[in-house]
Amino acid sequence: MAPLALAPQETKLRIAVARGDGIGPEITDATLAVLDAAGVDLELDPVELGAAVYARGVSSGVERETLERIRTARALLKGPITTPSGGGVKSLNVTLRKSLSLFANVRPCLSYSPYVAGHPGLDVLVVRENEEDTYGGIEHRQTEQVTQCLKLITRPGSERLIRFAFGLARAYGRRRVTCMTKSNIMKITDGLFMDTFRQVAEEFPELASDHQIIDIGTARLATRPEDYDVVVLPNLYGDIVSDVTAELSGSVGLCGSANVGATCAMFEAIHGSAPDIAGQGIANPSGLLLAAVQMLVHLGLPQDAQRIHNAWLSTIEAGIHTADIKSETTRQRVGTQAFAAAVIARLGEEPRRLPCARYELGSALAELARDSTPAPPRPQVKELVGVDVFLDWSAGSPAELGDRLRRCGDATLPLEMITNRGVRVWPQGLPETFCTDHWRCRFRPEGGSASWADVLALLGRLSDAGFEVIKLENLYTFDGRPGFSLGQGQ
């Protein structure tokens, strides 16, 4: 397999390298030492991301010029970044994934039993959606008592990710793709992801496919991972499930991940910056090293990837382990750099009992990402049929609110119901239901449509009556099907 073609002015493939925060510099140095000893011929372009950049007052954690260098490089190899808690700054990891459109996060997790104590049957490829869901970080405090986070699931975003996951399963000779969502509760958002999964599955008839509810699915995955092969999930569930599968393999320090888009790619360990062990020289560099292996495959250097991966497997098999690995086969407990030296000493060796790594696919990830383009939108009839008005109100009971709001409604937009935290409290609420200061008030003509002028007129009447409107959601139907949820108890 030939490496990616060089541009006329390029002499080597240029890789941006960010050493990261916490244990990042230690594991990056260890990883680069292995790449160097293996003779991997890349131009390494060091870039600064994370804590030092935040400290200069750059709230995104990345300078514009750095982003430009990353997007024009062939890949970014990235150490973990500490996300400062609290407001004022945004997660750099999320910013990179979203601004570079790295829509698919591929996290292979497998068992190295009996050399690492973990679940022996594990060989799972987690494919996590990387840009959507609650990770937009679109959050608001709307009232004294209530905060909200917007969960965005899109049809094109779900479709290309799911098509990518099926394509990956086909390319890697996998047999089954499992989707997990909470579509029984979030019928519109997770329901869209599940429906898209079922539609895309029809394009891959040779692959088995199933959908599971995320709670029982995760429980089963944790206890019977041998029943799973490729698992595709929305962003938040994928984040959690892939840490579960990483732990099942024996340590969160063992798994690398690829973040892939149609034009850019970023490779990193799945774990964080581990501030509790930073600077001690004991972190396991395997996650980042295996991410670098994925990067070499992506760059069209499968022979280098194979040589390093097999040296790493031989090291694990030889019982040379970092402190996080539990195993009865441990012969030597080593620190980060000594572990890298042990891998370097085994370059050219292959494991005797663990399956050998074999790479032939070259830049399959990038090609799959490019081939996963979603279908063009299908024209639909979209009709406004009402409005949900959210109020900040704490002046009485649901019945009193209902009485006052009914007078604000009219024939075009009569009051249909009021919910508090999603539960219907008017009409026919229960006295037991706990209510906050955040009310969703639905105005909708029975069976009819509404106009934007009707909505504006209603807002004027609510304002005249002294109500504080904090947000609006228009209620639409699409080809006659409601694009909004019912109230709990409706």
Q: Please identify which residue in 256, 272, 362, 386 interacts with ligand NAD, judged by CB under 6 A.
A: 272
**Of the listed 135, 228, 237, 359, which one is catalytic?**
135
Nearest to 402 by CA among 461, 442, 456, 444: 442
Least gap, CB of 326 to ligand NAD (angstroms): 12
Distance CA 38, CA 348 (A): 9
| Position among 273, 315, 372, 420 found at the interface with ligand NAD (CB under 6 A) | 273
Nearest residue (CB) to ligand NAD, 209 versus 242: 242
**Shortest Cβ 98–ligand NAD spacing (Å):** 14
Q: Which of residues 274-313 bind ligand NAD (CB under 6 A)?
A: 274-277, 283-284, 287
Q: Site residues for ligand NAD, window 40-99 (CB under 6 A)?
A: 80-83, 93
Q: If residue 180 lies in a helix (H) or strand (E), which one and from where to where?
A: strand 176-181
Name the residue with the smallest CB distance to ligand NAD: 272
Q: Is 372 in the site for ligand NAD (CB under 6 A)?
A: no
41 as an active site residue: the answer is no
Q: Note whether 22 and 278 are within 8 A (CB).
A: yes
Residue 393 identity (one-letter amino acid): W
To ligand NAD, the closest distance from the beta carbon of 460 in angstroms equals 45
Q: Which is nearer to ligand NAD, 277 or 305 (CB)?
A: 277
Catalytic residue check, 135: yes
Rounded distance between C-alpha atoms, residue 294 and residue 363, angstroms:
10
Stretch that binds ligand NAD, among 31-39, 219-227, 270-278, 447-455 (CB under 6 A): 270-278
Segments in 38-84 forming alpha helices (H): 51-55, 64-72
User: 190, 239, 243, 454: which is the annotated catalytic residue?
Assistant: 239
Told to judge if 45 belongs to the known catalytic residues of this protein, a careful annotator would answer: no
| Closest CB 264 distance from ligand NAD, rounded Å | 16
Sign of torsion over alpha carbons 306, 308, 309, 315: positive
CA 327 to chain centroid, in Å, comes to: 31
How is residue 45 written in tokens?
Answer: 């372009």
* Residue 26 contacts ligand NAD per CB under 6 A: no
Instruction: Show Cβ contacts of residue 402 under 8 Å, excluding neighbours closer than 6 positions.
Output: 415, 418, 426, 427
Check 182, 190, 237, 243 and give the catalytic one: 182
Tell which residue, 252, 315, 351, has the closest CA to residue 37.
315
Max Cα–Cα distance, the chain, nearest Å: 81
382 is catalytic: no
Binding mask 199-218 for ligand NAD (x = CB under 6 A): --------------------
Catalytic, out of 36, 41, 210, 215? 215
Torsion of CA 361, 306, 125, 286, to 10 degrees: -150
Task: Examine residue 118 and tell whether it contacts ligand NAD (CB under 6 A).
Answer: no
Q: Is 105 in the site for ligand NAD (CB under 6 A)?
A: no
Which of these, 40, 100, 50, lies nearest to 75 by C-alpha position?
100
- Cβ proximity of 272 and 80 under 8 Å: yes
Interface positions with ligand NAD (CB under 6 A): 23, 80-83, 93, 252-253, 268, 271-277, 283-284, 287, 324
Which residues are part of the catalytic machinery? 135, 182, 215, 239
